[in-house]
Structure 1
Amino acid sequence: MSDKNGRPSTSFVESVAGFTAGVVTTLCLHPLDLIKTRLQVDRVSPSRVGSSLRIIRSIYLSEGGLAAFYRGLVPNLVGNSSSWAIYFLFYGNIKDAIRSVRAATITNNDDSTTTKARHLGASEYFVASGTAGLLTAVLTNPIWVIKTRMLSTGARTPGAYPSFISGARHILQSEGLRGFYRGLTPALFGVSHGAFQFMAYEQLKLYRLSSASTSSTTTTAANRQLDNLDFFIISGLSKIFAVAITYPYQVLRTRLQSYDASAVYRSLGDAVRQIWRNEGVAGFYKGLGPSIVRVLPSTWVTFLVYENTKKALPSITGSAG
């Protein structure tokens, strides 16, 4: 858990920070995730302004009031906390590995060597985040299948899973292990979302650090740090950039993970053809409104909690030791 200097290891810091961010984000924003999921699985209603209000009213009146907006909280909590913990664990270690390789290949032993090795390029951040995303998607897909099915139906719907455990048991008995990996293909395509987001996030952080240093004559490279406002703006811009490019995969993944997916869609390609034929381009962007409303607060909470937890862990573990 600690390195040879007594400081918490990169793996420990990244995992705890990611886990904490996932828990806090899910507890704060689960209802918006539920509304987005209901919109994404809707194959009948046209995509239009006001659809979210229709879903909210329906859930409140027919599924049990405010408590209904927290259906599926457990799999969402398990999924988000474990996903962020695993993701940041892989991401941090892959970045360290790339830095080590770069440092080993730099033959110039002047003072700039450490800086050159520490600052990765956009393509290297893309590779690190993409690889971390691929590994995380494969490991956590079973959780997201159960979460999608629970969020896409009310607790009173015939055949709905009453709990996370019962959902896992039902999938295993009726669909086998393969059932836990429905929607994995679009989820793997969706890894590009995280890759684009983190590439933009890291580059914006570097840009902000460099612009702050040039505007201040008293700030040195050693003590420059971004504040919460910086993280707030940078995380929001990077998320909007990624959503604008990759949103359709989320709709496809949700459709393929729904209860009746096997009866409606033969494959990913068939899902694309049906949505295009029956719903047009707008079908690939169903739920985009609440998704934007959800992902921005989610992104802000996730990255503010993650960055601040990462800052606080060394002092907390140091004082505890």
Structure 2
Amino acid sequence: MSGDLELEARPATVYVDPFTLVASSASAISARLCTHPLDTIRIRIQTHPGALVPPLKQLIPKPRLQNLYAGLPVAIGFSVPALSVYLTSYEASKRYFGERFLPKDNKPTLVQQLPVFVMAGMTAEFLSGAIWTPMDVMKARLQKGNEGTSATKLLKKIWREEGYKGVWRGYWLSNLVFVPYISLYWSLYESFKTHFIPGYDAYGPPPVSPSPSPTAPWTLPITARYTLCSVTACSLAACVTNPIELVQSRWQTSGGKGEGVGGIVKALWRQGGVRAFGRGLGIRVAYAIPANGISMTVYESLKRWKGI
């Protein structure tokens, strides 16, 4: 009882463990190195102007390895701080909102926790979006393959021709994409972890040596369970938000030319109606599964190893 009273009297705090930055940085680099070619294919499929997508050998001409890894330095240079801000702010916000809004006298139900996960995810997205957006703009335009290979020259060109709006093109559209995505993703991911990770506490350190769960429908190592939870959550969320992400990719690679977001939507509708908004869904899911699986498994494993 006294512990409950002390918890209730304690003000809501935001604490960031420095090792979270290390774990998130390692996860960002690992995921990007392994999955960047799939991301390049996704961008070229989504931004191809024609109604029909050409064969892969036309989308990715020779030298193929160089084309597949176009924009990789930009992606790594931005994704390390971006993912660090994202995961660190998510963890801190989750604890903060949990202390403020969840009941202190008994264990909160999953339904009670869902708004906390959503608010924490939205906070993380809005904060990290200032870093993600310039990365997405430059990376996508380099991956598209018609603006050279130098990130420095491209950045100068964007700034000279479009100003700061060009660098942060699509920030609000990105949030429109990722607010529903992260709301669904974190709700599913935290729900899966609560069910399948023995002893998991969304607001405390992970169990160092968890015992097998008798209720789990399979016998898998804890690391593999983290992977399965993350890839299932991200696959479902990616399917729901693909139409908005498709429009975002075209808008960020347009250089501000054309009819804007409304014009992109109309052009897609003319090309193929509802089916046109599913373009790139397969490759997006194929990219999201290893990207999210690798990054979250590395992140969660390092957290468990450190015990934070």
| Offset of residue 207 of structure 1 | 1.7
1:107-256 to structure 2, matched below 5 A, reads: 108=105, 112=106, 115-116=107-108, 121-153=113-145, 157=146, 160-191=147-178, 192-209=180-197, 224=210, 227-256=222-251
| Offset of residue 119 of structure 1 | 10
After superposition, the CA RMSD in angstroms is 2.6
- Relative distance call for 1:271 and 1:45 in structure 2 (3 A) is closer
Identity %: 21
Q: Which runs of 5+ in 2 are unaligned?
A: 1-14, 200-206, 212-220
Q: Which string of whole-angstrom CA distances, capped at 9 and with x for unpartnered residues, describes residues 140-197 of structure 1? A: 31121111100011xxx4xx13322222111111111111121223201112212211
Q: Distance in 1 between matches of 2:169 and 2:235?
A: 27
In the alignment, structure 1 residue 291 sits paired with structure 2 residue 284 = yes
Q: Which runs of 5+ in 1 are unaligned?
A: 1-8, 214-220, 316-321
Q: Which residue matches 1:16? A: 22
- Relative distance call for 1:287 and 1:222 in structure 2 (3 A) is closer
| Offset of residue 10 of structure 1 | 3.2
Q: Secondary structure at the match of 2:256?
A: helix
Q: State whether residues 19 and 82 of structure 1, in contact with CA within 8 Å, keep that contact through their aligned partners in structure 2.
A: yes
- Relative distance call for 1:299 and 1:139 in structure 2 (3 A) is closer
User: Aligned AA for 1:58?
Assistant: Q
Kindly tell me the number of residue pairs found equivalent between the two proteins. 277
Q: What's the TM-score once normalised by structure 2's chain length?
A: 0.81
Q: Distance in 2 between matches of 1:190 and 1:312?
A: 33
Q: Distance in 1 between matches of 2:109 and 2:59?
A: 52
| Offset of residue 91 of structure 1 | 0.2
Q: What's the TM-score once normalised by structure 1's chain length?
A: 0.78
Q: Which residue matches 1:262? A: 256
User: Aligned AA for 2:283?
Assistant: P
User: Aligned AA for 1:252?
Assistant: V
Q: Which residue matches 2:7? A: none
Q: Distance in 1 between matches of 2:246 and 2:110?
A: 37
User: Aligned AA for 1:148?
Assistant: A
In the alignment, structure 1 residue 69 sits paired with structure 2 residue 40 = no
| Offset of residue 268 of structure 1 | 1.8
Q: State whether residues 86 and 124 of structure 2, in contact with CA within 8 Å, keep that contact through their aligned partners in structure 1.
A: yes
- Relative distance call for 1:121 and 1:314 in structure 2 (3 A) is closer
Q: Which residue matches 2:79? A: 80
Q: Which residue matches 1:218? A: none
